[in-house]
């Protein structure tokens, strides 16, 4: 285990901390969805999007099975580990472990409203305790050299004014945090389930824009209900980055347009991967990856579940989904399973275009 040193000196704000990674478009942290296998699939579709892990509690990182929890492939980068917790010392130790596992950034969850998280006094309820968040940020910054960021809501319960949001951000910024991801709706801690808290409170994008206007030195990423590339571009006129969650997971082909839409100026941006044949190349490559895990004894369905929506809204999508769902459980030949499924979505009369698709390579 890494030794963590805690300095009583406040960490110096380094304006260069954020420059190494391009944060214009990110795939959100999603419990039980954005595991390392989904991230592998996502990386086949987009080389440059910033990928977030599911939230891990700092205690799990410190005491749990690290290979299982933190193991991540080279191709994942740039990748951010999201941590949940409220104790600065434990959060700092977990951040240091995350850094030693190669994560490019460590993010603090200040947005999850679940009862389990509230009972641990972290997640969205920390929006009422900016000083605690500031202490966590300071302790983490002092133990790692990678950036420490915060993902938060607009507010909680009745404490949902713009001024309260700005005050929260100011206190946390003074502790050294330069990157805030704001899910542009508040959370009701009592009475709404986490799922309802992702749909019922209204989206208020202008609060996030105003935050960027008021604090232009911060890197502000907006999140919540952003489902088209046109909207991504529109938000990028106001803020530094956009994060997508459900659209990216439930319609992964959306990610096949990320590099062209947002990172086209970067030399190794992928060509747009959206037609059935380009997606088939992705599916075949992912199948090879899954096969490697199956050969080590992992159930295929635990990994193929991430690609059942690959053809969402395209001809043959339902049959593709059903084929994978029904046949993956005890499958030992995933390559053949996927090949059989592709027969439902590829029409034989279409010639495969030159997609320019290759295996993902670690980004610099
Ligand atoms: C199944 C699921 C699990 C989620 N888990 C997390 C999580 O672990 N940490 C977090 O900060 N947000 C989590 N979220 C919230 C998303 O990161 C995101 O803020 C939210 O879905 C709004 O973005 P979207 O409209 O693009 O989906 C989760 C969302 C979903 C749908």
Domain ranges for the chain, please list them.
25-262, 276-345
- The alpha carbon of 246 and the centre of ligand 1 are apart by a number of angstroms equal to 7
Instruction: Say yes or no to pLDDT of 347 above 90.
Output: no
Write down the pLDDT at residue 274: 87
Say yes or no to pLDDT of 9 above 80.
no
Indicate if the pLDDT at residue 352 is higher than 60: no
What local confidence, expressed as pLDDT, does residue 1 receive? 29
Domain range 25-262, CATH architecture: Alpha-Beta Barrel (3.20)
Rounded to the nearest angstrom, the distance between the alpha carbon of 111 and the centre of ligand 1 is 9
pLDDT band at 358 (very low <50, low <70, confident <90, very high): very low
Average the pLDDT over 185-211 and give the result.
94
* Interval 67-73 mean pLDDT: 91
pTM, 2 dp: 0.91
Q: What percent of the chain has pLDDT over 70?
A: 90
pLDDT for 17: 58
Q: Ligand 1 atom 13: the closest Cα is on which residue? A: 30
Distances (CA, A) of 28 to 175, 244, 343, 350: 24, 6, 32, 34
Q: Whose CA is nearest to atom 15 of ligand 1?
A: 30
Binning pLDDT at 50, 70 and 90, where does residue 190 land?
confident
Nearest protein Cα to ligand 1, atom 14:
30
What pLDDT, on the 0 to 100 scale, is given for residue 360?
Answer: 53
Partner residues linked to 221 by β-bridges:
181, 241
Cα 29 to middle of ligand 1, angstroms: 6
Please give the pLDDT value at position 185: 97
Q: Which residues contact 361 (CB under 8 A, 6 or more apart)?
A: 47, 75
- Rounded to 5°, the CA angle 15-17-18 comes to 95
Residue 364 has pLDDT above 90, yes or no: no
Mean pLDDT of 281-292: 98
For residue 51, list its beta bridge partners.
27, 79
Ligand 1 is surrounded, with C-beta below 6 A, by: 28-31, 33, 54-55, 82, 109, 111-112, 151, 183, 198, 223-226, 244-247
Q: Which atom of ligand 1 is nearest to the CA of 82?
A: 9
Range with the poorest average pLDDT among 47-51, 141-145, 273-277? 273-277
What is residue 55's three-state secondary structure? strand
Instruction: Please identify which of the residues 112, 152, 177, 331 carries the catalytic annotation.
Output: 112
**b/e 161-185 (16+ beta carbons within 10 angstroms → b):** ebebbbebbebbbebbbbbbbbbbb
pLDDT at position 201, please? 93
- Rounded to the nearest angstrom, the distance between the alpha carbon of 28 and the centre of ligand 1 is 6
In the reported structure, the alpha carbon of residue 351 is separated from the centroid of ligand 1 by a whole-number distance in angstroms of: 38
Does the pLDDT value for residue 343 go beyond 60?
yes
Q: How far is the CA of 295 from the centre of ligand 1 (A)?
A: 32
Instruction: For residue 32, give the 3-state DSSP assignment.
Output: coil
| C-alpha to C-alpha distances, 352 to 61, 255, 277, 356, nearest whole angstrom | 44, 20, 6, 11
- pLDDT tens string 98-149: 999 999 999 999 999 988 887 888 999 999 999 999 999 999 999 999 999 9
Buried b (16+ CB within 10 A) or exposed e, 60-71: bbbeeebeebbe
**Comparing C-alpha atoms, which of 214, 208, 226 is closest to residue 155?**
208
Q: Which of 35, 245, 247, 305 to mutate to test the pocket of ligand 1 (most atoms within 8 A of CB)?
A: 245
Q: How confident is the model at residue 14 (pLDDT cuts 50, 70, 90)?
A: very low
Mean pLDDT of 278-295: 97
**How many Å lie between the centroid of ligand 1 and the Cα of residue 152?**
11
Nearest atom of ligand 1 to the alpha carbon of 248: 26
Q: Say what the pLDDT of residue 170 is.
A: 98
d(CA 175, CA 152): 16
Instruction: Indicate the top mutation candidate among 25, 26, 29, 231 to test ligand 1's pocket, ranked by most ligand atoms within 8 A of CB.
Output: 29
Domain 276-345 annotated CATH 3.20.20.140: no
Mean pLDDT, rounded, of the chain: 90
Name the residue of 31, 222, 243 to mutate for ligand 1: max ligand atoms within 8 A of Cβ: 31
112 part of the active site: yes
Atom of ligand 1 at shortest range from CA of 181: 19
Average pLDDT on 76-95 reads 96
- 304 pLDDT above the threshold of 80: yes
Q: Is the pLDDT of residue 354 over 90?
A: no
């Amino acid at each position: 285990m890494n030794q963590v040193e805690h300095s009583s000196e406040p960490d110096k704000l380094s304006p260069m901390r954020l420059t190494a990674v391009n944060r214009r478009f990110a795939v959100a942290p999603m419990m039980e969805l954005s595991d390392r296998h989904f991230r592998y699939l996502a990386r086949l579709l987009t080389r440059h999007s910033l990928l977030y892990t599911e939230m891990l509690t700092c205690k799990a990182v410190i005491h749990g099975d690290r290979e299982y929890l933190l193991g991540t492939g080279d191709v994942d980068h740039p990748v951010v580990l999201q941590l949940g917790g409220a104790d600065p010392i434990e959060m700092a130790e977990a951040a240091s472990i995350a850094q030693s596992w190669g994560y490019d950034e460590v993010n603090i969850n200040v947005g999850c409203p679940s009862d389990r998280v509230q009972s641990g006094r972290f997640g969205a309820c920390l929006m009422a305790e900016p000083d605690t968040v500031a202490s966590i940020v300071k302790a983490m910054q002092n133990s790692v050299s990678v950036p420490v960021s915060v993902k938060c809501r607009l507010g909680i319960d009745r404490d949902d004014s713009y001024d309260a949001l700005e005050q929260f951000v100011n206190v946390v910024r003074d502790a050294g945090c330069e990157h805030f991801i704001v899910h542009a709706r508040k959370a009701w801690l009592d009475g709404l389930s986490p799922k309802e808290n992702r749909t019922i409170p209204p989206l208020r994008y202008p609060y996030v824009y105003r935050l960027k206007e008021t604090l232009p030195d911060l890197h502000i990423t907006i999140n919540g209900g952003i489902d088209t590339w046109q909207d991504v571009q529109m938000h990028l006129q106001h803020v530094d980055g956009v994060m997508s969650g459900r659209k990216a997971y439930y319609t992964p082909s959306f990610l096949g347009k990320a590099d062209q839409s947002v990172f086209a100026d970067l030399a190794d941006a992928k060509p747009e991967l959206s037609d059935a044949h380009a997606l088939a190349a992705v599916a075949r490559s992912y199948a090879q990856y899954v096969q490697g895990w199956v050969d080590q004894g992992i159930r295929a369905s635990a990994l193929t579940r991430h690609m059942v929506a690959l053809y969402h809204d395209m001809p043959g999508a339902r049959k593709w989904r059903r084929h994978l769902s029904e046949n993956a459980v005890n499958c030992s030949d995933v390559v053949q399973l996927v090949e059989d499924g592709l027969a439902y979505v590829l029409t034989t009369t279409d010639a495969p275009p030159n997609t320019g698709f290759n295996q993902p390579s670690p980004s610099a």
